[in-house]
Structure formats: C-alpha cells, structure tokens
Amino acid sequence: MISLPVANLAEAKFECIFGRGCDGICCQNGRPPLSPTDQARIDPILKDKILPELRPEARKTIEKMGYLSGRKKIGMPTLRVTQGWCVFFKEGCVLHKIGAREGDPYRYKPELCALFPLEKDEETGEWFVRQKGYNGEFWDLFCLDPAISKKPAAESLKDELAYAERLEAAQSQPPLSDAS
Ligand code: SF4
C-alpha cells in the first residue's frame, strides 16, 4: 500500500506503450541529468556489463568521451546522445535490462528515468504525475496526455510510486552519525 502523497494522482492518467506502438520516444534526445549517486551506480559496471550491450556507435562514443556530455540540467551533467538516442538505449534501456536481470530494474537506472513520469516539484517539495496541461508540462508526449492515455496513473505507476516512496524514506533517515 502506497502512502506517498502525490498532488494529482487521483485524476492523472498514464500508460506506457513501449513495444506496442512506441519505440521509446522518452529516450530519444531525452538527455536526463545524472546525480553523483547515479554515476556511482553505473561506473563499477560500465566496462564489463554495460558497454558490451550497447549500440556500436554508442559504445565507441563512451569509450572515447565518457557517457556524460558537457551540457547541464538542474546543475548536473546530462547523458550523451548518439544518432538521436541516449547512449544507454538499445531497443529499450540497457541499464533497466541489466538491473531487471539481477532482480531490480531500478538498480542502475538514473533516478529521474526510473521515476518517470513521477516528479518532485523542486520549489514546493510536492510529488506529481507529469501530465499535459499540468504544472507547465513542456514535453508533448502522447503518454502524458490524459486524453490519449486512459489508464489511471495510480494503477499503472505502482512500481514508480513504490520507488519514490523508498527514496523519500531513505532521505528522511538521519545520517548514521546522528542515529546512534
Ligand atoms: S538512461 Fe535509460 S531510461 Fe534514461 S534516457 Fe537513457 S535509455 Fe532512456
């Protein structure tokens, strides 16, 4: 049972149709920002687990220049793009696939990608579902359009909601030095 308060959860609609008419458009030129924690999860498995699964041109780009670009969003470096797609995309998110094989699809995936389309408003601290026409949504994706996606987000986003709740719980833990 999820108890995380999400501002528009009652009315939000979302259905991911990746593989059923969508090729993964949210990973096309998406350039998510990566936190130091995201990078620390990726770095140890980059060479042995991730690189062998990537598109040849994405692998070449990373080997030459790394997976982070010079661009920044919300103060953090963003992922590189090759031939119009995130370097970690190959018929789906390679980070997601590797994590899923090990029992947790979110183990290596950048936090913002794992939460999508859930987001926390930086100013108010309020969680919300990204929706066309809500909170200044700028991305014109059909899955964010409640007129097209008919599934209640409360049902379709159970995993993402549980993940957001885990993140909130981890952030509210006192540092180890204060906990004793
Ligand atoms: S890290 Fe994965 S989910 Fe995020 S944009 Fe890249 S391929 Fe897509």
What are the boundaries of each domain within the chain? 23-105, 117-168
User: 98: Cβ below 6 Å to ligand 1?
Assistant: no
pLDDT band per the 50, 70, 90 thresholds, residue 175: low
This prediction's pTM: 0.91
**Dihedral of CA 104/108/114/120: which sign?**
positive
Q: Is 86 in the pocket of ligand 1 (CB under 6 A)?
A: yes
Mutate to test the pocket of ligand 1, among 27, 29, 82, 143 (most ligand atoms within 8 A of CB): 27
Residue 29 phi/psi, 5-degree rounding, is 55, 25
- Residue of 87, 89, 118 to test ligand 1 pocket, by largest number of atoms within 8 Å of CB: 89
- Closest Cα to residue 156, out of 26, 6, 13, 3? 13
Is it the case that residue 169 has pLDDT exceeding 80? yes
What's the 88 CA to ligand 1 centre distance in angstroms?
Answer: 6
81 lines ligand 1 (CB under 6 A): no
Please give the Cα distance from 67 to 6 (Å, whole number).
32
E strands, 45-123, where?
A: 68-73, 76-79, 81-82, 85-86, 118-120
The residue whose C-alpha atom lies closest to atom 2 belonging to ligand 1 is: 93
- For the segment 128-142, what is each residue's pLDDT rounded down to a tens digit? 999 999 999 999 999
Contacts of 155 (CB under 8 A, 6+ apart): none
pLDDT digits (tens, 9 = 90+) for 54-88: 999 999 999 999 999 999 999 999 999 999 999 99
How many C-beta atoms surround the C-beta of residue 10 within 10 A?
A: 9
Q: Is the CB of 114 under 6 A from ligand 1?
A: no
Rounded CA-CA distance 36/57 in Å is: 25
